[in-house]
Amino acid sequence: MLKTAPCGRKKVQEPAPTGESLDSWETILTVFLREKSLRLTDQRRKIASIALSHDSHFEIQELVREVRKSHPEISPATVYRNVKTLCEAGLLQETLESRSGVTLYERTESEHHDHIVCLDCGLIFEFHNAAIEKAQTKAIRAMGFFETRHQHVIYAKCDLIKK
Amino acid sequence: MLKTAPCGRKKVQEPAPTGESLDSWETILTVFLREKSLRLTDQRRKIASIALSHDSHFEIQELVREVRKSHPEISPATVYRNVKTLCEAGLLQETLESRSGVTLYERTESEHHDHIVCLDCGLIFEFHNAAIEKAQTKAIRAMGFFETRHQHVIYAKCDLIKK
DNA sequence: ATGAATGCAAAGGTTTTGCACCCCC
DNA sequence: GGGGGTGCAAAACCTTTGCATTCAT
């Protein structure tokens, strides 16, 4: 249902060179858990592994189904609880809303990107544009704010140019 | 809970000069309904009136409560159905998500604006910045898309500069 | 051992739907 | 009159929570 695929062309922004950041999520998670006196259970590790294997956005329900498939003994409640934990650990973050109004999550990447939702093919693209970011930082500063993060979703059509 | 207020300073973008667009929403709605062979019922008009009286974002539940207060005979299901209709008519649109994950709606304005969510005071500001819009249009075109609309939400802090 | 985490089931909350009745066009 | 609209209640969903049990540290 929700995919990020090249709608007839290449994704504008390639994935991070190595595919994995230098600190593996396992390290980050372990450190976070230790700091908070939380524990690394089997379920937590499995859920994290599956959640963080997504290259793009996913909804919790999707994750719940995947987890159930390979680990039927893990309950949905645990998935919900752990997604929350992973967000707190900074490994996941909420992202743009799907058109059905469901919250989507994605792996936190070191590189920021904006999104284009194609209204023709329904797919979601990621891109990064320095000019936009720059204009934005400048505008925000001028208004007296300090930006922490942003979500920029553009709804567009890819098909028009082919017709 | 959710307000758009001046967080210690003025809203950057003032509301439309007249407060109402030239075509009243009643006209737009009537034309839309006629086109689709839909009907203008009492409930529909009342719900539209209340929904469109909001100057800023609101959630459906809030609208349901308001409608119930002045028109207890209107059922929540009807409110849901009509919000959907009003979106299709282009009078309302979904907007950024509240931090609790609930979908928010707002009146469609002729003038577009982006949002700043202040992480210090929790309020939502609206602004418009030509440089950002321009950079964006250019970037999108360069990638082969035609933009239809976008959502740009910046999470920022207003308080830092006071400390 | 002890506090955190889990599974289960129940509760909570939101949104949708089926259906009989109503009413706008 | 007929098809869209409504109210009501039930259903369908998604997410959270209480509690007894299990488990990581």
Q: What is the Cα–Cα distance from A97 to A84, expressed in whole angstroms?
A: 17
The per-residue pLDDT for A110 is: 52
For residue B157, give every residue at least 6 positions away whose Cβ sits within 8 Å of its Cβ, in sequence order, or none: A145, A146, A148, B118, B119, B120
Q: Where are the beta strands (DSSP E) in B60-111?
A: 92-95, 104-107
CB contact under 8 A, A131 and B153: no
Strand, coil or helix: B34:
helix
The per-residue pLDDT for B156 is: 80
Instruction: Determine if strand C comes within 7 Å of the CB of A73.
Output: yes
Q: Is the pLDDT of residue A41 over 80?
A: yes
Q: Which residues of A lie inside 8 Å of B (Cβ-Cβ)?
A: 9, 12, 94, 96-97, 101, 103, 116, 118-119, 125, 127, 129, 131-132, 134-136, 138-140, 143-158, 160-161
CB contact under 8 A, B97 and A118: no
What are the structure tokens assigned to B113, written together? 């604006």
**Residues A78-92, mean pLDDT to the nearest whole number:** 95
| Element (DSSP H or E) covering residue A151 | strand A146-157
Measuring CA to CA, which residue among A53, A51, A117 is closest to residue A83? Answer: A51
For residue B52, give every residue at least 6 positions away whose Cβ sits within 8 Å of its Cβ, in sequence order, or none: B25, B86, B91, B92, B107
Say if CB A117 and CB A153 are below 8 A apart. yes
Residue of B nearest to A151 (CA): B153
A35 CA → D20 C1’, Å: 28
What are the structure tokens assigned to A161, written together? 């140019």
Q: What is the Cα–Cα distance from B105 to B96, expressed in whole angstroms?
A: 8
What domains, with CATH codes, occur in chain B? 13-110 (1.10.10.10), 111-163 (3.30.1490.190)
Total Cβ atoms within 10 A of residue B49: 14
Exposed/middle/buried for residue B27 (C-beta within 10 Å: 0-12, 13-18, 19+):
exposed
Mean pLDDT score of chain B, rounded to an integer?
77
The per-residue pLDDT for A121 is: 66
Q: Number of A to B CB contacts under 8 A, please give it.
A: 116
Residue of B nearest to A12 (CA): B143
CB contact under 8 A, B146 and A140: no
DSSP B43: H
Say if CB A72 and CB A27 are below 8 A apart. no
CB contact under 8 A, B131 and A135: yes
Choose the weakest-confidence range: A134-148, B32-46, B70-84, B115-129.
B115-129
B12 CA → C1 C1’, Å: 59
Q: Which nucleotide's C1' atom has the smallest distance to the CA of A103?
A: D14
Chain A nearest-CA distance from B93, in A, is 12
Strand, coil or helix: B41:
coil
B30 CA → C9 C1’, Å: 49
Q: pLDDT tens, A154-163?
A: 878 775 544 4
Confidence of residue B4 (pLDDT cuts 50, 70, 90): very low
Choose the weakest-confidence range: A120-129, B2-11, B38-47.
B2-11
Q: pLDDT tens, B60-107?
A: 999 999 999 999 999 999 999 999 999 999 899 887 655 555 677 888
Total Cβ atoms within 10 A of residue B43: 17
> pTM score > 0.85 for this model?
no
For residue B162, give every residue at least 6 positions away whose Cβ sits within 8 Å of its Cβ, in sequence order, or none: B8
The b-or-e profile of A136-151 (16+ CB within 10 A means b, else e) is beebbeebbbebeebb
Q: Tokens 């979106």 sit at which residue?
A: B87
Strand, coil or helix: B92:
strand
For residue A84, give every residue at least 6 positions away whose Cβ sits within 8 Å of its Cβ, in sequence order, or none: none
